[in-house]
């Protein structure tokens, strides 16, 4: 099950952390905590996709497909992990931790709230419902009504189809949204999507003009339902460039409307931990419209390290009773996902301008990247090997879905 003998087991002088997922998101958490001498373990279901196992700050790596809830309890009892902080890096793990919150909280400190809170982030239908109640702008969205009962000819094309619960769809297809330009395309894509998730989970949503550069995020560290530290960032590039699976280049920014709405949303649901709320600016009416809420560390959470707010470490401090330091001096910062940003640059419609933007950020802002680190270099190089081996299978998932015939 696990590939290495742990360098530190038994009772620790201070609580450590268990990171559920060894991708670049998990790697960022491992480095943030490990550099401060906090013992950090990583659990993943597939070592062939886990770069955090190669980090010098990972004290123990466990590969297991066992029931995660039971695995955590067994490991905790065996190795005396009482008080350790558990960080999920994907929505599946959030759902497991949330559903088993009471049992796991008897041993661990969770940065994941119980289901009555996380449901407002994991299920976009509830996200939009709560946002509407708060007066936060929401894209026009239809769900819950069968397609046959809609006047599809009068819908506000172009549209996108997206899953209400992302982790029910994305892992199977490597797609987060489907572009729809015509009524005939709506019928086809809807039928394809229905092969993977129930029609009640399919959202039909207006397509807000603009690419990744129109997307903004509020990132918050919450303690007992109150935001204690935060930043606002702008997604400059994403990949794929039209409907990005993830950001590739992000910069801190100042946007009071996003800050106000993001804070309002997280505090309204009583969130506790770290979370990101995504918005897109709609040039048609000048409003920032909520798209998603991520109740966990997001892809570029290490931007906060460069900007003066180490979200993972601050969450660990809160959960271990040390209190939040609320970050150091704020500074302008930029973050780059090295591998996919190269692809985003190559496919950019204005490659020259984007390259200039990147160089300017490196020159004028505190710059950080997703995986490269002089003090911990092996994960960066390991990712090239793992990417080459898994990239083809990810692309095949998306291609197979898009070529899927709606009916057998």
CATH number, residue 197: 3.30.1490
Which pLDDT tens digit goes with each residue over 365-380? 999 999 999 999 999 9
Range of the domain at 155: 140-207+395-402
Does 201 share its domain with 243? no
Does 225 share its domain with 144? no
Helix (H) or strand (E) holding 97, with range, is helix 91-99
Does 217 share its domain with 357? yes
Average pLDDT, the chain: 92
What CATH number does residue 285 fall under? 3.30.470.20
Does 288 share its domain with 367? yes
Could you tell me if 280 and 387 are in contact, meaning their C-beta atoms sit under 8 angstroms apart? no
Model confidence at 7, pLDDT cuts 50, 70, 90, reads very low
Does 75 share its domain with 164? no
- Cα separation, 148 vs 335, whole angstroms: 44
Express the helix, strand and coil content of the chain in percent, nearest 5 each.
40, 25, 35
Q: What is the per-residue DSSP string for 285-317?
A: TTEEEEEEEESS--TTTTHHHHHT--HHHHHHH
Give the residue among 373, 364, 359 at the shortest CA–CA distance from 332: 364
Predicted TM-score of the model (pTM): 0.92
- Higher-confidence residue: 307 or 327? 307
The reply to whether 129 falls in a domain is no
Give the residue among 75, 39, 74, 112 at the shortest CA–CA distance from 319: 112
What Rg value do the Cα atoms of the chain yield, rounded? 21
Q: How many domains does the chain have?
A: 3
Model confidence at 330, pLDDT cuts 50, 70, 90, reads confident
Does 228 share its domain with 368? yes
Does 226 share its domain with 362? yes
Does 221 share its domain with 240? yes
- Cα separation, 2 vs 64, whole angstroms: 8
Model confidence at 10, pLDDT cuts 50, 70, 90, reads very low
């Amino acid at each position: 099950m696990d590939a290495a003998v742990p360098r530190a087991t038994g009772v620790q002088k201070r609580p450590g952390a268990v990171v559920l997922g060894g991708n670049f998101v998990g790697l960022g958490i491992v480095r943030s905590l490990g550099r401060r001498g906090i013992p950090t373990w990583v659990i993943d279901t597939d070592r062939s996709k886990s770069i955090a196992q190669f980090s010098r700050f990972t004290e123990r790596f466990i590969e297991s497909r066992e029931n995660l809830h039971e695995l955590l309890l067994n490991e905790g009892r065996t190795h005396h992990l009482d008080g350790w902080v558990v960080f999920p890096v994907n929505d599946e793990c959030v759902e497991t931790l949330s559903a088993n919150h009471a049992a796991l909280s008897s041993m661990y400190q969770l940065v994941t709230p119980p289901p009555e809170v996380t449901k407002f982030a994991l299920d976009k239908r509830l996200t939009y419902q709560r946002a509407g109640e708060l007066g936060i702008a929401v894209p026009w969205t239809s769900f819950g009504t069968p397609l046959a009962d809609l006047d599809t000819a009068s819908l506000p094309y172009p549209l996108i189809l997206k899953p209400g619960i992302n982790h029910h769809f994305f892992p199977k297809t490597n797609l987060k949204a489907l572009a729809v330009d015509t009524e005939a395309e709506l019928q086809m894509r809807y039928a394809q999507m229905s092969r993977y998730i129930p029609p009640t989970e399919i959202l039909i949503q207006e397509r807000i003009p603009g690419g990744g550069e129109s997307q903004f995020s509020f990132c918050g560290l919450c303690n007992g339902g109150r935001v204690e530290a935060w930043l606002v960032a702008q997604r400059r590039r994403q990949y794929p460039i039209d409907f990005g699976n993830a950001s590739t280049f992000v910069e801190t920014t100042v946007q009071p409307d996003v800050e106000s709405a993001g804070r309002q949303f997280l505090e309204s649901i009583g969130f506790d931990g770290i979370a990101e709320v995504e918005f897109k600016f709609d040039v048609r009416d000048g409003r920032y419209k909520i798209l998603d809420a991520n109740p966990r560390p997001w892809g570029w959470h290490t931007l906060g390290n460069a900007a003066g707010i180490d979200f993972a470490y601050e969450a660990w401090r809160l959960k271990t009773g040390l209190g939040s330091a609320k970050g150091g001096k704020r500074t302008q910062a930029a973050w780059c996902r090295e591998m996919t940003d190269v692809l985003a640059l190559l496919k950019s419609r204005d490659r020259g301008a984007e390259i200039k933007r990147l160089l300017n950020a490196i020159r004028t802002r505190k710059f950080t990247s997703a995986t490269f680190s002089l003090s911990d270099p092996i994960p960066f190089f390991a990712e090239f090997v793992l990417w080459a081996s898994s990239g083809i299978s990810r692309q095949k998932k998306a291609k197979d879905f898009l070529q899927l015939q709606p009916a057998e």
